[in-house]
């Protein structure tokens, strides 16, 4: 007679491995996730090279979820651009604390380079021409906003030197544009180090301003 076969209750057929429950995201968390994924893909592939299908796949959701939050790829892109513009503008304007005008130049240059270093994907998106006509802004308009902050600083300095303060907007655009274009170049080469780049930018800007002529003239014959 065969003895009874012992069974291990831990391997009973009734005991099946339990799957860990996935925590369901809130609407705000899902929106934030889609924004982060969108920013990464738009920076790497551009607007045209990114699809709603890929965004949804990266997020582990279906396409309708993307449409539910943003109305489509265009809506997501517009929000990403707006968020990055606000972030950069806040970093630059927030850095302009009271101090000597040269210190303010240093603060503005460092703020822009800090943004490029910390939010590289965002900067890559901003410097591209926006394919969305109804987008909330462009890199050019952002540069103008920053230049407005610098314009106030230059305006006061011009008055102190007896220069025409009405020319402050022109010089503000030139200075901010110089820093922005250098930032685009530095984004790819990352040499020299950030502090050295900022020092050279301020050196050129400050000593250029230091030697300004109140009424500059062209040395050639062309007048228009």
If pLDDT is split at 50, 70 and 90, which confidence band does 93 have? confident
Q: Which residue shows structure tokens 């003895």?
A: 3
45 has pLDDT over 90: yes
pLDDT digits (tens, 9 = 90+) for 182-217: 988 998 898 899 999 999 998 888 888 777 788 888
Q: What is the pLDDT of residue 134?
A: 46
Cβ atoms of 46 and 128 closer than 8 Å: yes
Structure tokens at 79: 């929000």
Quote the pTM value. 0.75
Hey, where are the domains in the chain?
81-210
Structure tokens at 138: 């462009």
10 has pLDDT over 50: no
Structure tokens at 187: 């984004």
Cβ atoms of 82 and 136 closer than 8 Å: yes
CATH topology of domain 81-210: Tetracycline Repressor; domain 2 (1.10.357)
Q: What is the pLDDT of residue 130?
A: 62
If pLDDT is split at 50, 70 and 90, which confidence band does 57 have? very high
Q: What is the pLDDT of residue 58?
A: 97
Among 51, 81, 48, 87, smallest CA distance to 66 is for: 51
């Amino acid at each position: 007679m065969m003895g009874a076969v012992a069974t291990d209750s831990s391997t009973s057929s009734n005991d099946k491995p339990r799957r860990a429950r996935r925590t369901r995201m809130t609407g705000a968390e899902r929106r934030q996730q889609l924004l982060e994924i969108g920013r990464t893909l738009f920076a790497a592939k551009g607007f045209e090279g990114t699809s709603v299908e890929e965004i949804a796949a990266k997020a582990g959701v279906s396409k309708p979820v993307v449409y539910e939050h943003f109305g489509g790829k265009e809506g997501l892109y517009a929000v990403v651009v707006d968020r990055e513009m606000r972030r950069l503008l806040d970093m630059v304007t927030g850095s302009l604390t009271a101090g000597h005008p040269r210190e303010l130049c240093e603060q503005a240059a460092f703020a822009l380079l800090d943004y490029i270093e910390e939010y590289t994907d965002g900067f890559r998106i901003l410097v591209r021409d926006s394919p969305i006509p109804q987008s909330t802004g462009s890199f050019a308009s952002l540069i103008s906003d920053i230049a407005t902050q610098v314009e106030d600083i230059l305006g006061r300095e011009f008055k102190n030197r007896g220069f025409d303060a009405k020319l402050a907007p022109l010089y503000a655009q030139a200075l901010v544009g110089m820093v922005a274009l250098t930032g685009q170049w530095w984004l790819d080469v990352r040499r020299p180090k950030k502090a050295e780049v900022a020092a050279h930018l301020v050196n050129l800007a400050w000593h250029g301003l230091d030697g300004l002529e109140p009424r500059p003239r062209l040395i050639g014959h062309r007048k228009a």
